[in-house]
Structure 1
Amino acid sequence: MPSQDRHIRNVLKLFDANGHRHDRYRLFSDCMELIALSISNSVDLCSRPDREVRYFEIVGRYDRPAVEMFAQVFAEITMALEAGLNDVLGHIFTELEIHNKNRGQFFTPYAVCQMMAQVTLGGADEAQALIGAKGFVRAMEPACGAGAMVIALAEVVRAAGINYQRHLHVTAVDIDSRAVHMAYIQFALLHIPAHVIVGNSLSLETREHWFTPAHILGGWSARLANQAVPAGQQTICALPVPNKQPAHLPPAAASGPGEQLTLF
């Protein structure tokens, strides 16, 4: 996708131009958090007060040229994803060479994610069967990174002739808050209904909950809650109430109403 590549190169140039004045790792992390906060604050009224404070806290660290650069990066990322579904931020993160090698933080190549998503979902008939009478399919990504696997799944769902914006809901978890911000940005710009969590999928601890515009505007909290719940299970808790978030991942993140796909 030539136009997508052009926008990605523009983002890399922006970070190169400002990297001499700021630590590149911190600059990128703050840029991702600011963009995520901007998106969240436009739709998530319950979380807005605390996140608005956090937004101005980060902005206060930078001079005007850097703040203007953040807006330019946001625009380029938006245009890159407008050109097609891809792990744009994962690619940018890798190209900037700021991934944490000591923690083994490497994002799965998007081509591999596409293959795995295709195997997971199957063909168009299988996809239609998964959706069935419930009207949608739920996906769980316990280590989402920048969201490549979920984006690939959305692409496969669309290729099967299904509108993923209406018939796919995602719960995505990562222990790294920067990765969650990256995934949230991409899911939001691609209008993927998702609940993105900063937490540990093994210990079930959670720290932050991010709900994409597609989740909030699509009424997914009510849509999930209204599904019949099998005995001993409960639906995803997806109501963004500040300071009252569950201390653990909801049991339905692993199972619950409707068909469930687990991505790795």
Structure 2
Amino acid sequence: MQAVPREACFPLPTHHSRGPGRQERCPAFAGRERRFADQSSFWAIFMNNPRLKSIVKLFETCRYSHDLYTVFSDWCECVAISLSNPIDLVHFDKREARYLEIARKYDRPTMATFTQIMGEVTMAMEDRPQDILGATFHALELHNKAKGQFFTPYTVCQLMARMLAGSQEDMRASIEKRGFMLAMEPAAGSGAMIVALAEAIREAGFNYQQLLHVTAVDIDRRAVHMAYIQFSLLHIPAIVLVGDSLAMRFHEEWHTLAHIMGGWNAKLREAQREGKGAAPTLTPAVPGNDSLQPAQPHAVKSESTSFGVEKTGQLRLF
């Protein structure tokens, strides 16, 4: 008995005819091909990153009983709270109540999965600095639901960070001038740019955990949680703010352990008093100050703070 070709029973939708002797690509199939072609570089990274594959697999186990977008957002918030509460007692009660509110939505096995995911994320960041949460967000295809929100590929962030950070001599001059380097990130996303900057500083032979301070802002609370988690795991001294960098309105702040242990509130105040310190437009808040006020317009023109903000008001890294 002669086997019947599969195509004879189920014609593949790769072509369709428009008139005699004319065949064209099926729009649906062609669109799918373009989609995977556009993401080919990402999927190559995905296939070569076993940690990322494990994280995605664990998140996928929650898909059948919960909305995956909500699960990812809740996981990020729970982990951020877990990292913040032992060190930020000012916001402890409010954040602990929020953590318990989220935990009540899930059963014990799901919360155990949350713990496993945290372990995989920690090990991924231990392997090397990387934007593991941004990659997870894309691998789960959650960016399709997030109003067109896409995170910059980490390889692009690495290129930009090395260009902006400059040479080893440039970094040394910046450190000798004020005792540390200051990074301002007005649209942090998952924090990939800062992670790449920390990696570039480390490659230049400097300890970013002692010589770099970051103030990062994003209008999306989930993005702030993602950035805060990655900064905390890399022990980057940072304040991460929920707010609008353009309108200069900020209403929530997250301090990393490295920021608190390093005494950075005092360091920044001292540097600002000596005319070397923090940019005035994003003054780091001390714990307990829930309302972050923008600086007065004349402060931007001050010579003593010009390294953080250009005369035009444009933020820059150093």
Normalised TM-score (structure 1) = 0.91
> Which residue, out of 218, 243, 246, partners 2:291?
246
CA RMSD across the alignment: 2.5
Superposition pairs of residues 1-264 of structure 1, within 5 angstroms: 5-100=49-144, 103-229=147-273, 230=275, 234=280, 236-241=283-288, 244-249=289-294, 259-260=307-308, 262=316
Contact kept, 8 Å, 1:205 with 1:247, in 2: the verdict is yes
The structural deviation recorded for 1:246 is 2.4
The structural deviation recorded for 1:237 is 3.3
Stretches of structure 1 lacking an aligned partner (at least 5 in a row): none
Give the number of aligned pairs.
259
Give the letter aligned to residue 103 of structure 2.
V
Find the aligned partners of 1:62 and 1:85 in 2 and give their Cα distance: 31
The structural deviation recorded for 1:193 is 0.3
- Runs of 4+ in structure 1 over 3 Å off: 228-231, 247-261
- The DSSP-based 3-state class of the residue aligned with 2:99 is helix
Q: 1:214 to 1:63 in 2, by over 3 A?
A: same
Stretches of structure 2 lacking an aligned partner (at least 5 in a row): 1-44, 309-314
Post-superposition Cα deviations, 1:21-65, rounded to whole Å, max 9, x if no partner, equal 100000000000000000001211211111111111111111111
Structure number with the bigger relative contact order (C-alpha 8 A, sep ≥ 6) is 1
Find the aligned partners of 1:227 and 1:80 in 2 and give their Cα distance: 35
Rg (Cα) greater in structure: 2
The structural deviation recorded for 1:16 is 1.0
- The DSSP-based 3-state class of the residue aligned with 2:271 is coil
Post-superposition Cα deviations, 1:169-223, rounded to whole Å, max 9, x if no partner, equal 0000000000000000000000000000010000011121000010011111111
Contact kept, 8 Å, 1:134 with 1:258, in 2: the verdict is no
Normalised TM-score (structure 2) = 0.76
The structural deviation recorded for 1:253 is 10
Find the aligned partners of 1:66 and 1:121 in 2 and give their Cα distance: 42
The structural deviation recorded for 1:228 is 3.8
The structural deviation recorded for 1:130 is 1.3
Contact kept, 8 Å, 2:251 with 2:291, in 1: the verdict is no
